[in-house]
Amino acid sequence: MSLYATQDEKKQAAAQAALKHLPKGGILGVGTGSTVNFLIDLLPELQLEAAVAGSEATAQRLKKLGIEVVDMNSVGGLDAYVDGADEIDRHMHMIKGGGAALTREKIVASIAKKFVCIVDDSKWVEQLGRDFALPVEVIPMARSAVARKIVTLGGDPVYREGVVTDNGNVILDVYNLNILNALELERTLNNIPGVVTNGIFALNAASIAIVATDHGIEERTAQ
């Protein structure tokens, strides 16, 4: 029996449990996605000075709650960044970008002292990329060239039709990549000319994962 009747209840519980890991006051980096949306609704409790948003959609939600959204260029650093993940493993490496906001999210995460990842246990995996295609943000003119390079790495890239990122770029979803060394593959993909960034978050791993399971909340750190 699960403590939670629905997936949404699990996400809500993870969001609630994350609050104690986030600083009161100050400026918080906030990511994107369904689990993060539950957290955003709770953020007024933290009485934040301001937030830096990982996507336009998040910026709009924060503003509706009266939380000031500031440009990252005006901020020296962040005490914490909070976000979900499409997949996360025991090393705290993640795949993100199902919602196409990976580049902004990675940039915001890079200036935070800690990365709090909130997920339900369906996102916890033994190996990244087996079940979830890896998103890669690409400058439009380089789409075919990047796809050909990815094929030589063993991946199967598929153009995400009809999607334009907040930065005006396109997404290739890469299937069948055997991600045994996430750090190395993240660097390799980022070095392909035309790639803006890819959805592996290993160089910017999570500091802690708040995982909602059928039996309650678990706090996990890198193994």
So which residues are the catalytic ones? 105
| DSSP SS3 for 160 | coil
Minimal CA–CA distance to 177: which of 132, 124, 123? Answer: 132
Q: Any alpha helices (H) in the chain, and if so which ranges?
A: 7-18, 34-42, 56-64, 102-110, 143-152, 182-190
Beta bridge partners of 220: 209
Amino acid at 37: N
Radius of gyration of the chain measured on its C-alpha atoms = 17
Rounded CA-CA distance 60/65 in Å is 9
